[in-house]
Amino acid sequence: MNSKLVILTLLTCSLQACSQQTNNNMDNSQSQTPTQQSGTSQYRKLTPEEEYVIVDKGTERPFTGKYVNTTATGVYVCKRCGKPLFTFKDKFPSECGWPSFDDAIPGAVLSQPDPDGERVEIECANCHAHLGHVFKGEHFTNKNTRYCVNSISMIFVPADSTAGTK
């Protein structure tokens, strides 16, 4: 009974850790940040939902992202600028509700303190798109790191794809 309670508590904490508390309402019609800011015309045009997460630093709902259970061979690139961020080799099933990786492509992801004072935010090193958060010390993998990433912030490019990322 005690082990079930501990597991339930850990799962609840993991879900709460990844969820953004600034705006749980996914009504994107009120977003006031322009998608194309001056000097950013090289970036993809974003939908209101993508803009909410990538520009306004929101969070998609857990277990709703299209890459949560993806196990195919390939690379995950930034939805906004197309730069490679993570490889399939570093993805693992954390059961937290968002795609999880224990490593990023070197130099691809920046970390900074989250405004909530509790977490560490991650963003694309190239275009500063919000990706999610990074957690250390959870012991999910030998690397002891979990990049908890919003699916909506990425595009998966299968290894056998000949299509460009831009």
* CATH for 154: 2.170.150.20
The whole-number pLDDT of residue 76 equals 98
| pLDDT above 90: residue 15 | no
The whole-number pLDDT of residue 166 equals 46
Round to whole Å and give the CA distance between 156 and 73: 9
Q: Which of 18, 81, 124, 148 is catalytic?
A: 148
Assigned domain for 51 exists: no
154-158 and 100-101 beta bridge pairing: unpaired
- pLDDT tens for residues 93-138? 999 999 999 999 999 999 999 988 999 999 999 999 999 999 999 9
Assigned domain for 46 exists: no
Quick one: what percent of the chain has pLDDT higher than 90? 68
Assigned domain for 134 exists: yes
More confident residue, 34 or 153: 153
Amino acid residing at 113: P
Assigned domain for 6 exists: no
Quote the domain boundaries for residue 75: 60-161
Positive or negative, the Cα torsion across 45, 47, 48, 52? negative
Q: How many CB atoms lie within 10 A of CB 144?
A: 12
Assigned domain for 43 exists: no
Assigned domain for 11 exists: no
Secondary structure letter of residue 159 according to DSSP: T
If one counts the domains in the chain, the total is 1
End-to-end CA distance of the chain: 51
Does the pTM exceed 0.85? Answer: no
- Residue 40 pLDDT grade (very low, low, confident, very high; cuts 50, 70, 90): low
Assigned domain for 5 exists: no
- Decide: 129 and 45 in contact? Cβ < 8 Å: no
HSE-CB of 73 using CA atoms within 13 angstroms? 3
SS3 14: helix
- Residue 36 pLDDT grade (very low, low, confident, very high; cuts 50, 70, 90): very low
Is 148 designated active site? yes
Structure tokens at 147: 């990049």
| pLDDT above 80: residue 146 | yes
Assigned domain for 36 exists: no
